[in-house]
Structure 1
Amino acid sequence: MRRALIHLLFVVALPAVLVVVWWLASDGSTNPFWPPLRTILKTFPDVWTADRLKTDVLPSVLRLSAGYATAAVVGVALGTVIGSYRRVRAVCEPVLEFLRAVPPPVLVPVIMLFAGIGDTMKIVVIASGCVWPVLLNTVEGVRAVDPVMTETARSYGITGVARLRSLVLRSASPQIFAGLRQALSIGIILMVISEMFAASDGLGFTIVQFQRSFAIPDMWTGILVLGLLGFLLSVVFQVVERRVLGWYHGLRAATRRSP
């Protein structure tokens, strides 16, 4: 219990300090583009009503979820195949490095030509950026599977789906989750960028509309909503990661305690 309280204190301390610094730094501001934090907080409940959360935040979360899930499935599946076979990896590696070097926002106009300007385009943009950290981390995780464990599984006749589930994916899961964590932050960025192109709702669209109408405090409230959304998604991810990788964290804790 005490350890949990200390961890919670560390989690809350830095955001609280940043809020205090922001409050003090902006308190006497007369710059219309840098309003005081108290003005932004006062504007917040008037802007982000239940209806606006439903019409702008919910569509963004659904697009992010769809793109992120697509990237996770594709990245893990392709990464497992590429990491398991040396020849496949040798053929695919140059192409993967080329595609990874192309920034996903640059592809937005191209994706719009093929997928239109609806939700499909936004989901494809998010997936196209999120897939790379998942894919590359899965490849490295699969490559790092202990050869002794591989031979042991083979000698006991553990093959096919059972080997993939119990050995390969389980051994690579810490690396896969590292890629999923990186992909989450990329997905939030691409969610906003994709909604700035020919959108009619979403957080990115709303923030741009506030900026174009010079509703600067309202624009800052949208940025706060983005930050809060990112924080909540990070907390949810940590809970899922702790649950799925409980065996891994337990093993690391036991290793640290051992003499």
Structure 2
Amino acid sequence: MSVVHRIGMALGLPVMLFTVWWVASAGSTNFFFPPLSEILDSLVQEWFGARLVDDVWPSLYRLAAGYALAAAVSLGLGVLIGTSRTVRGLTEPVFEFFRAIPPPVLVPIFILLFGIGDGMKIVVIAFGCMWPILLNTVEGVRAVDEVLSDTGRVYGVHGWSRLRYLVLPSASPQIFAGLRQGLSVAIILMVISELFAATNGLGFAVVQAQRSFAIPETWAGMLMLGLLGFLLAMLFRLVENRRLAWYHGLRRAQRSS
């Protein structure tokens, strides 16, 4: 499949939906559903203007910091738990307990512990998005092929070399699946964390626009969130395709054989 074909498939449905929205909303006099042209004007003027620095960049910083913290902690714990049956038996009940708690419920507690600054928001994002990364890492490490593991043991591949050249490559497809799920959760929690005692950010700006009945600005903020999620997903896919090129090539070879 050519690059042009793939881009066309990725953009075809969004372009069609925006075309329908533009035509259906043209000339609308409904206060809560303004024409798409007004929303796009607000998007360009507000979100690609002063708000880009005042609200978008702070949100991206919190998102990146929380996601990076969750990935680092989850990958380290996941490898440890996945390779040790004893550690897995000790920690699994605790992790299942905390995983069942919705992160937004813990926001008041995190405010008491970390205040109302960026630290609280980063912790909320990290706490919520670490679970899919952690659980997928554990399962990926546990699912390492026994034949490969025994072969590595016979050839004296131990310690860091075994982790780097055997365990992590074998578990990487499932690890990336967890990272992809964690990114989606992180974007949601970024917005939720900015609804509480915030002075900037995408979530704060959208709620402020809604409370002041600035309807085009509210719709524009939601479009900005969707655009941000789309761009981050595309960036993640590029990284994933590059890091897992060997895996996708192997799957294509298996399907063609």
Normalization by structure 2: what TM-score? 0.97
How far residue 30 of structure 1 moved from its aligned partner, in angstroms, is 2.6
How far residue 27 of structure 1 moved from its aligned partner, in angstroms, is 2.9
Deviation track 1:96-146 (CA, whole Å, cap 9, x = no partner) reads 111111111111111111010000000000000110000000011011001
Query: Any idea what the Cα deviations from partners look like across 1:62-97, whole Å, max 9, x if unmatched?
Result: 110000001111111111111111122122222211
> What's the CA shift for 1:208?
0.9
TM-score normalized with structure 1 length: 0.96
Query: Distance between the aligned counterparts of 1:68 and 1:210, measured in 2?
Result: 27
Could you tell me how far 1:25 is from its partner in structure 2? Answer: 3.2
- Select between 115-124 and 204-213 the one with higher mean Cα deviation: 204-213
Q: Which amino acid aligns with 1:85?
A: S
Aligned to 1:218: 217
1:150-189 pair list within 5 angstroms: 150-189=149-188
In 2 relative to 1, CA 50–42 (structure 1 residues): closer, same or farther, beyond 3 Å? closer
Map 1:63-212; keep pairs closer than 5 Å: 63-212=62-211
Query: Which amino acid in the other structure matches residue 44 of structure 2?
Result: P
- Which stretch shifts more, 78-87 or 116-125? 78-87
* Matched residue, 1:237: 236
| Distance in 1 between residues matched to 2:4 and 2:135, nearest whole Å | 36
Return 245-254 or 88-97, whichever deviates more: 88-97
For residues 245 and 202 of structure 2, the distance between their equivalents in structure 1, rounded to whole angstroms, comes to 34
**Shift of residue 28 of structure 1?**
4.6
- Is the Cα contact below 8 Å between 2:43 and 2:224 reproduced in 1? no
CA distance in 2, matches of 1:55, 1:42: 19
| Aligned-partner SS, 1:178 | helix
Please report how far the alpha carbon of residue 220 of structure 1 lies from its aligned counterpart in structure 2 after TM superposition.
0.8
RMSD: 1.2
Shifted more, 177-186 versus 45-54: the winner is: 45-54
Note if 1:17 corresponds to 2:30.
no
Counterpart of 2:66, as a letter, is: G
Gapped regions of structure 1 (runs ≥ 5): none
SS at match of 2:208: helix
Question: Equivalents in 2 of 1:23, 1:198: separation in Å?
Answer: 36
Aligned to 2:245: 246
Partner Cα separation in structure 2 for residue 172 and residue 166 of structure 1: 11
What is the count of residue pairs matched by the alignment? 257
1:21, distance to aligned residue in structure 2 (A): 2.4
Cα offset, 1:47, TM superposition: 1.4
Deviant stretches of 4+, over 6 Å: none
Does the residue aligned with 1:121 lie in a helix, a strand or coil? helix
Question: Structure 1 residues 249-258 or 163-172, which shifts more?
Answer: 249-258
State the alpha-carbon separation in 2 of the partners of residues 32 and 103 from structure 1.
35
Write the letter of the residue equivalent to 2:167: V
Alpha-carbon distance between aligned partners in 2 of 1:101 and 1:84, rounded to the nearest angstrom: 24
Of 162-171 and 42-51, more deviation after overlay is shown by 42-51
Q: Percent identity?
A: 61
